[in-house]
Structure 1
Amino acid sequence: MMTDAQTSDAAARRGFAFALLSYVMWGFLPFYMKAVDHIPAVEVVAHRALWSIPIAGAVLLLLGRTDITGALRSPRTMLMAIVTAGLITMNWGIYVWAIAADRAVETALGYYINPLMSVVMGAVLLRERLSSLQMAAVGLAGVAVIVLAIEARGLPWVSLSLALTFALYGFLRKTLPIGPSQGFFLEVAILCVPALAYILWLQMHGTSHFVSSNPLDIALLLGCGPVTAVPLLLYAFGAKLLRYSTIGIMQYVAPTMIFVIAVFVFDEPFSNARLLAFGLIWIALALYTWSMFFGRRPETAVSDETTPVC
């Protein structure tokens, strides 16, 4: 018979495996998005939402959490779900477009910036006090953005948009009075309506890539559901079994993989200015991570609002 400590260790190992698998899947996602880069980003996002429905629904059935009638009857909950669904759609759209436009490096930067953006939002919107390490991390991230802005003669809008939309999504998602899996199902159910309408519109006008004459495109678009829903749900299961600090470290796996793929596989340009900016961001994240370990934040499990939703 297993002791409590052995049971806890076994649960942590399962949680680590689930979370690591989810981050690795997100890390490899640019390859999938490259495979569909000949399809308009809006069409890809529509299929991501539509084909996530069966998977999200099946998970709710398996977990016995199918009761979302309370959420459907609450105008406030539905309004918040519509807003969060809109934010995650924007995040998906920017990500899909950026990969197709050979700007994967910028997506990696966006997901590196995301935890720092969340810290800023907590300070601005919730009046949370920042530690000296957190303020230093945010300051270094700001300098990195300025460096990139000077190089590009404009703000790095892809990176900032990805970080901001997801930070807002995470902030507002916590207001939904339902669990992570139920919330994801509700969001994709809301998105399913305009997504299906758009897909049917494309079919009527003969511009859809979901046609019998191109079985590869059909398979790729159908696959948009699993590559969207599976890692998110794996993360949700893993996060419940892990400490906050463990997830805090693991969240850098995906953007690091995206960065390596962008530079060494997609051969995207990586100038000295970008090297300086990424160096500043990495130092900032090191300070942020140190503050998580040695600050006073509770070592609790987290929900799927803290993870990048590529």
Structure 2
Amino acid sequence: MIRLPWAKTRCQTLEPSSAIDLRLLTRVIARVKLNRALRYRLYWKFLKQFNAVELIGWRIVTSSIILLCVIIYTKKLRNLLTALRDRKLRARVIFASIMLAINWTTYVWAVVHENVIETALGYFISPLFTMIIGFAVLRETMKAVHRAVIVFAVFAIVILTYSYGRPPYLALIIASSWSIYGYLKKQVPLSSLESLTAEVFALLIPAVAILFWCFNRADSVPNSATTIQWIFVLFTGLMTAIPLLLFGAASRRVRLSLLGPLQYFVPTFNFFLGWLAYNEKLDVTRLVGFAFVWFGLFILVTDSLRSSAKKIKTA
């Protein structure tokens, strides 16, 4: 049975005898990622007539309502408020929430403006940015394979800049904001539910201000949305909270060596969705740029799997 992030008893590791659980959890993660990938693109495409910043405002407000109900029901609110008395923790949560808002806004803007393939690029190169953070901030050792991966990434960005006629800034913003967000999340000693709730509530006041600012616009949600569009807007909170919490719960039970390759599932789906379903441009030059990214990721994943195998043998 999958335990939710707020369950009192947590299983942090997967026992070797739990082969069925491993297969089940792998399926859960894959389905969560597929559903999230498919619904998010179709969801935001359906709402593309609205301003992306306004949509993020609604997403934050509706998410905060859902997460507040859940955290009160699970009696975790007092624990969260106690933890947030720490000034350093509050600062990290606020900074993480800013990165999350930047990531969400850039992603939604890119999707509604026919740049789905570039969002895929952003999440493909995000692990490379995470690796750079490890070297620059955590002073981790840089091996020759890591240098090679960075060189491939630089070549890819140069080629894609030539192909797009501009730097792939949407991808770079998505990758950097998501990597910094992931780094900050690891520095916050809170559960998935607690940290996500704190981050969303840190954004609540700016989100409400944005909605008030957009209210008088003729093309705003209150002034132009149909009944079905209103339903879609109000359900953005569920679309945000449930996949993140379920994935957080399942990922705690799966080995990192398995979880790592799964992170490329969504951007791969995005790539083919943008190319085949939305007919976004994918010329030879752009494909060569992506090939450099994919080859670098292949090297990175292969090295990671080898390191994990060595650790298991020596354990």
Q: Same fold (TM over 0.5)?
A: yes
Closer/same/farther in 2, CA of residues 60 and 299 from structure 1, 3 Å limit? farther
Residue pairs, 1:1-310, within 5 angstroms: 8-28=18-38, 29-61=40-72, 64-66=75-77, 67-203=79-215, 208-210=220-222, 214-295=226-307
Deviations 1:36-91 (A, max 9, x none): 11110001111111111233334435655332122332222222211111111000
Identity %: 26
Closer/same/farther in 2, CA of residues 212 and 82 from structure 1, 3 Å limit? same
Matched AA of 2:143: S
Where structure 2 has 5 or more consecutive residues not aligned to the other structure, the ranges are: 1-13
1:214 Cα deviation after fit: 2.3
Q: Aligned-residue CA RMSD in angstroms?
A: 2.3
SS of the equivalent of 1:90 reads helix
Closer/same/farther in 2, CA of residues 247 and 298 from structure 1, 3 Å limit? farther
SS of the equivalent of 1:248 reads helix
| Count of residues paired in the alignment | 297
1:229 Cα deviation after fit: 1.4
Distance across 2 between alignment mates of 1:63 and 1:250:
30
The answer on whether the counterparts of 1:210 and 1:221 sit within 8 Å (CA) in structure 2 is: no
Moved over 4 A (4+): 4-7, 61-64, 204-207, 296-300
1:164 Cα deviation after fit: 0.5
Closer/same/farther in 2, CA of residues 99 and 299 from structure 1, 3 Å limit? farther
TM-score, normalised via structure 1 length = 0.88
Distance across 2 between alignment mates of 1:269 and 1:213:
30
The answer on whether the counterparts of 1:134 and 1:291 sit within 8 Å (CA) in structure 2 is: no
SS of the equivalent of 1:73 reads coil
The answer on whether the counterparts of 1:140 and 1:280 sit within 8 Å (CA) in structure 2 is: yes
Distance across 1 between alignment mates of 2:115 and 2:200:
26
TM-score, normalised via structure 2 length = 0.87
Matched AA of 1:18: V
The answer on whether the counterparts of 1:14 and 1:238 sit within 8 Å (CA) in structure 2 is: no
